[in-house]
Structure 1
Amino acid sequence: MSVPKQDTPQGQGRKPKQFNILYIYLLIALGVVGILFFYQGGNPVETSWQEVQLQMLPQGYITKMVGVRNKGIVEIYLSQEGIRHFEKRLGGRKGYDAEHPPFYLTIGSFDAFEQQLRDAQKDLPKDKQIYPSYIERPDYLGGILTWVVPFALLIALYLFMMRRMGRGGGAGGGANIFNIGKSKAQLFSKEGYVQVDFSDVAGLEEAKVEVREIVDFLKNPKKYTELGGKIPKGALLVGPPGTGKTLLAKAVAGEANVPFFSLSGSDFVEMFVGVGASRVRDLFKTAKEKAPCIIFIDEIDAIGRSRSKNVGFSSSEERENTLNQLLTEMDGFSTNQGVIILAATNRADILDGALLRAGRFDRQIHVELPDYQERLEIFRVHLKPLKLHPEFDPTFLAKQTPGFSGADIANVCNEAALIAARKDKTEVEKQDFLDAIDRIVGGLERKSKILTPQEKEKVAYHEAGHATVSWLLEHASPLLKVSIIPRGRSLGAAWYVPEERQLTTVEQMFEEMCALMGGRAAEDVVFGEVSTGALNDLERVNKMAYGMVAYYGMAEGLENACYFDSTGQSEFNFAKPYSEQTAQRIDAAVAALRDRAYNKAKEILTAHRDGLDRLANRLLTDEVIFADDLEAIYGPRKGETREEMLQSSLKQEAKDEEQAKVEEEGKKAE
């Protein structure tokens, strides 16, 4: 697993900006606001009765008054001389005439207004007195707005909600509820997107060999079709999480230079009936138009789960309809049409058998956890952006991270950089990576968890018991370090470097169980009592013992018995695949294995009680000890170490290469 290339030209990888119609709505709203609130020309200004009585009436500026009964106001019309006199009062605005009064007066009662007006004009000549008229002026605009605005708001809210519900992106993404059945696949094309090819994928060499045939078909389809060959329609990438399945699929699309439709299995699931099947149809219709292309369905187990025989109990009819449509579409288009389907899952055992048959997903490409050499390549990719010491060697990281996926390795590199920055360092050092691995594997160090001296002593002997038994047994995992510093939910931890075996024997599994029992056995030997600190150890021992008995046929009396179901169908069954008598025999065999491992661990610790005490005391003093400390107490470990095995393997490969060169030169000489 790796990351896309860092050096991307400026502007590349960005989607072109799309015009948004909301901008037009915003401009219209601003225009209306501007007309209503900023353009006030010709609108009357409110005045007071004192201003009318003392300034307008005595000077004869008022030409007429009109009372609008339904609004409770009196409009005051002035002569041109009066308008000029009150020009500053009107703010310099124009447009006042016989139809547009410059002032209005708000009144409470027209009868009281008439009385005040008579009193104010009693000393004026008859020809200069003003007699108001009254009218009813219907508010057509207000009535329209009262009815139109609520409906307009409801329509706008409806359109907004439909845009949000229909906005799914990808091929055929609509802007309303009627396009909800369109595919939500995101289309990646060569233009305008950052590309990933096989050079960006570290490790996964065997998986890359498998998919190169797909790339070659997409680039040169005639080479296969002219000979009558048929390329597999689908390939299923199977592997644990974080191993690079999605990245490998993108690399195939980038290498083949074809459109790449990417979506998740959950994108077909919707609350409406029939939407999943509709999206499957639309996806394949769009893909045929873009052919040659690749469809990538991530986490296909969301819709590809095995269909239940008991429909009424554990079946989802909508999910099964979606799966049925997918099966039909995969077997419905022509083989040489250039549409290839890639899918990824980490639960291939629960997929429906019809999905894996020939003609659909013809082959399975296993993307496993990286081995030592692949981890080294992945580390080199993720270490590029980090500021490292010039003499930093990444090989020790690859050795100390067995079982890590590509995502875990990326997390280690990022965490190490954060730890170095937290300590105000200018470079990321080896200790920062060790701290990052400890934090990821064991959890965050909990300095606030204070142990009593008695608890700390028990934890020290518990971890020393694990370390002692694993060191003295040849086939147990080699110890890396032991700590009694609380991390996460654990009070102490022991780090091992497990051998990367392809096959495991009975003796190897039994000695691993003994090492797990070493903690509880040490408590029993030293204190004569046990604690709850062995919960995780007992859980792992029981799982290993049950696997040895029920799956691998390694128990006496059940040598060739295997009750493992690789199809995943047993989860729908209530009954066990064996009788009650066999279940009792399995339980008895598991208990015997567990007891034998515990007694073996107690024998070892009793025989090496002095070393156990020395190791526990050193743990209480230093809190962290390493393999060198165990070697100083117990001597060199039995058996070939992992590093020695690696070195011998490299030497053998060098000898084989040298022998091959000699043979080739001999053939040329002949």
Structure 2
Amino acid sequence: MNVRNLAIWGALALLVIGMAVMMGGNPEVARAQPTKLSEIYQLAEQGKIADATLGDTTIIAKTTDGRTLKSELRALDMKTEDVLTQNNVPFSVKPDTGRNNVASVLLSLLPILLIVGFVFFMMRQMQGGGTRGAMSFGKSRARLLTEKQGRVTFDDVAGVDEAKEELQEIVEFLQDPSKFQRLGGKIPKGALLVGPPGTGKTLLARAVAGEAGVPFFTISGSDFVEMFVGVGASRVRDMFEQAKRSAPCIIFIDEIDAVGRSRGAGLGGGNDEREQTLNQLLVEMDGFEANEGIIIMAATNRPDVLDPALLRPGRFDRQVTVGNPDIIGREKILRVHMRNVPLAKDVDSKTIARGTPGFSGADLANLVNEAALLAARRGKRVVAMQEFEDAKDKVLMGPERRSMVMSEKEKILTAWHEAGHAVVAMKVPAADPVHKATIIPRGRALGMVMQLPEDDKLSMSRVEMTSRLAIIMGGRVAEELKFGDDNVTAGAASDIQQATRLARAMVTRWGYSDIIGPVDYGSDQGDVFLGQQLMQSSHISEETSRKIEEEVRKLIEKGKEDAREIMTKYRNEWEAIATGLLEFETLSGEEIANLLKGTPPSRPDISDDDAGPASAVPVIGKRKKPKDDGIGDVEPNPA
């Protein structure tokens, strides 16, 4: 609580105490007329006293004509009671009747005090707290970051070299504006950082400010919008006023799509608070001169919903794409986050980068942190490669649920289901290598087969898509072949959903159907809240919709047939993988390859028993008679 709040509450307390002192403790004492005690005795003898109240030092007497009299009593004076009794005057004895009871007054004022305090608290909450005054609704909430909060430079940003080159011009302009101005050049007034979540857009903006050594104001797009009309526009004006006083500087608006969505579109409409805020932002961005040295930077992962006026030249006239890093960028990012982590000698950042395709910078930072936490949990002093592998599995497949009790039937069914995915993935024409197969419950799945590409992939070919359909349907086909059509479970629900989504995209978006042709019938090309998808379904006739459904079904059925053919042809390999999963629960891609060659995995932590680890794994070429294993219901198992 600051000095101002203490002064306010102190003034309220003094006011209440003063009122209590002035009011006194007994209302009857305040209204009573002072008189002599002998006069009260005389009135009592005349029968003109209706009743009386005796205190320690005061008597209050009410006369028959409505007056209230008071007088002081002498200590240990018993005559008063005798006089009242002899003249049949009813009286009562109440100690401390004449005292000024401040505590009772404060107690009576407590509800009023609570109401005043509640109103004051609500006003402070609506103002957003802090030390601003009662009329600070329109003040900007932009925070000024200083070097005390950590100076960030381009050395702290890795994997986005192209984006750093684009922003280097802004740094040079802030450091030496005359270099551009004497040639008639104007620096872009605004730079919009566009990219998926976690790719380092905010970090890049801070690095620009750190490299240039200028003040950095940061605010979120949602901080502008309030329930009161006009507050957001006032905050925009105040933010630019602060920036002008600190120029040259950078204003960074994070998640600008919260306030910069397209105007006049969608299900809503009208000149609401958000649109007024956007209008004021557009005016301010186009209203200051370039030589003032104010650079506007913003970040979003939804550039498609931004208002076109926000993206025109003169406002955000430069868009910088910050995408997911490639394998070289991932290696650089890992090295940045490994600076403060004690590493074992076997840790290879290049190998980790190769096994994490599609990871963003935030994902890689989380991977390093998870590995460090695992090492600490295991009591190690350094983080080894095993911790990074386990952390990668946790991030990709979810945490292990070893405490979950699976029945033997569910375990057998899951093993054959996942073995079906694995053997099809190893035999289809085009597929990513199998990285790991497990029947240990992870996340919401009872088992999982994970594939990782050897290189970064930006697109998929038709043969890769049809192979993917076969892999996805491999689990369902495995249940049909092993347990019969009547005993197929709901374990392939997630697989069917994935296959349907992929096949529909092949038909409606990518033109992989000879009957439909290269026509885009995709239903996800717009946003409902922008009014871009409401009438789209009416553009597809019933006949075309029926053909689309038939083509989707054909693709999925073809995937099932391909999976069935592979598992029938390679029954021994399929059985070996399933039996290995039942024995070891988790198999890496290398262990599966060795298993198919007749070499079972060697696990030093598995104790020897009568059967031995190797006896549970059949050797290829010596097929064992299938057992009647039974089945059990399982949760969806992703491929």
In which range does the TM-score fall when normalised by the shorter chain?
Answer: 0.7 to 0.9
What's the counterpart of residue 465 of structure 1?
A: 420
Distance 1:515 1:450 in 2: 28
Contact persistence 2:525–2:533 (CA under 8 A): no
2:318 aligns to what SS in structure 1? strand
Pairwise CA distance, 1:624: 1.0
Distance 1:299 1:472 in 2: 45
Distance 1:632 1:278 in 2: 69
Distance 2:496 2:535 in 1: 27
Cα deviations by residue, 1:544-568 (Å, 9 ceiling, x for unpaired): 2222222222222344222457664
Cα deviations by residue, 1:208-231 (Å, 9 ceiling, x for unpaired): 111111111211212222222222
> CA, structure 1 residues 560+425, in 2 after alignment: closer, same or farther (shift >3 Å)?
same
Distance 1:494 1:289 in 2: 58
- Out of 334, 342, 351, the position equivalent to 1:379 is 334
1:477 aligns to what SS in structure 2? coil
Distance 1:402 1:363 in 2: 28
Contact persistence 1:615–1:630 (CA under 8 A): yes
Matches within 5 A, 1:243-258: 243-258=199-214
Distance 1:315 1:605 in 2: 61
Q: Is 1:487 aligned to 2:442, yes or no?
A: yes
Contact persistence 2:55–2:98 (CA under 8 A): no
What's the counterpart of residue 557 of structure 1?
A: 515
Cα deviations by residue, 1:88-115 (Å, 9 ceiling, x for unpaired): xxxxxxxxxxxxx9x99799x9823889
- Out of 357, 360, 372, the position equivalent to 1:405 is 360
What are the ranges of 5 or more consecutive residues in structure 1 without an aligned counterpart? 1-17, 36-68, 76-100, 117-135, 637-670
TM-score, L = length of structure 1: 0.72
What's the counterpart of residue 320 of structure 1?
A: 275
What's the counterpart of residue 475 of structure 2?
A: 519
Cα deviations by residue, 1:127-163 (Å, 9 ceiling, x for unpaired): xxxxxxxxx9795989997998877765555444434
Distance 2:500 2:314 in 1: 42
Contact persistence 2:16–2:106 (CA under 8 A): no
Q: Is 1:629 aligned to 2:584, yes or no?
A: no
Q: Is 1:287 aligned to 2:248, yes or no?
A: no
Contact persistence 1:246–1:298 (CA under 8 A): yes
Distance 1:71 1:189 in 2: 72
Q: Is 1:612 aligned to 2:581, yes or no?
A: no
> CA, structure 1 residues 140+466, in 2 after alignment: closer, same or farther (shift >3 Å)?
closer
Q: Is 1:600 aligned to 2:562, yes or no?
A: yes
> CA, structure 1 residues 260+113, in 2 after alignment: closer, same or farther (shift >3 Å)?
farther
> CA, structure 1 residues 579+254, in 2 after alignment: closer, same or farther (shift >3 Å)?
same
Matches within 5 A, 1:432-451: 432-451=387-406
User: When the two structures are aligned, how many residues end up with a matched partner?
Assistant: 535
Pairwise CA distance, 1:405: 1.6
Cα deviations by residue, 1:23-48 (Å, 9 ceiling, x for unpaired): 5578889999999xxxxxxxxxxxxx
Distance 1:104 1:198 in 2: 90
What's the counterpart of residue 656 of structure 1?
A: none
Matches within 5 A, 1:201-350: 201-309=157-265, 313=268, 317-350=272-305
Distance 1:110 1:264 in 2: 81
Given residue 508 of structure 2, which amino acid in structure 1 is its aligned partner?
Answer: A
Pairwise CA distance, 1:354: 2.3
What's the counterpart of residue 60 of structure 1?
A: none
Pairwise CA distance, 1:621: 0.8
What's the counterpart of residue 505 of structure 2?
A: 547
Pairwise CA distance, 1:468: 0.9
Distance 1:375 1:221 in 2: 34
What's the counterpart of residue 431 of structure 1?
A: 386
Distance 1:258 1:594 in 2: 58
Given residue 133 of structure 2, which amino acid in structure 1 is its aligned partner?
Answer: A
Matches within 5 A, 1:106-117: 111-112=80-81
2:197 aligns to what SS in structure 1? coil
What's the counterpart of residue 186 of structure 1?
A: 143
- Out of 162, 181, 186, the position equivalent to 2:123 is 162
Given residue 552 of structure 1, which amino acid in structure 2 is its aligned partner?
Answer: W
Given residue 511 of structure 1, which amino acid in structure 2 is its aligned partner?
Answer: S
Distance 1:360 1:597 in 2: 51
What's the counterpart of residue 65 of structure 1?
A: none
Distance 1:457 1:590 in 2: 31
> CA, structure 1 residues 110+254, in 2 after alignment: closer, same or farther (shift >3 Å)?
farther
Given residue 518 of structure 2, which amino acid in structure 1 is its aligned partner?
Answer: N
Pairwise CA distance, 1:611: 0.9
Distance 2:206 2:317 in 1: 20
TM-score, L = length of structure 2: 0.75
Distance 1:511 1:142 in 2: 84
Given residue 80 of structure 2, which amino acid in structure 1 is its aligned partner?
Answer: D
Given residue 552 of structure 2, which amino acid in structure 1 is its aligned partner?
Answer: V
Distance 2:572 2:104 in 1: 99
Distance 2:462 2:475 in 1: 22
2:537 aligns to what SS in structure 1? coil
Distance 1:549 1:454 in 2: 38
Q: Is 1:388 aligned to 2:343, yes or no?
A: yes
Pairwise CA distance, 1:542: 1.9
Distance 1:385 1:556 in 2: 56
How large is the Cα RMSD of the aligned pairs?
3.6
1:625 aligns to what SS in structure 2? strand
Distance 1:573 1:194 in 2: 48
Distance 1:316 1:489 in 2: 45
Distance 1:538 1:104 in 2: 100
Pairwise CA distance, 1:618: 0.9
What are the ranges of 5 or more consecutive residues in structure 2 without an aligned counterpart? 19-51, 59-71, 86-96, 599-639
Contact persistence 2:508–2:519 (CA under 8 A): yes
2:259 aligns to what SS in structure 1? helix
> CA, structure 1 residues 72+488, in 2 after alignment: closer, same or farther (shift >3 Å)?
same
What is the aligned-residue identity percentage?
44
What's the counterpart of residue 455 of structure 1?
A: 410
Cα deviations by residue, 1:477-527 (Å, 9 ceiling, x for unpaired): 111110001112100011211241123221122212222222112222222
What's the counterpart of residue 364 of structure 1?
A: 319
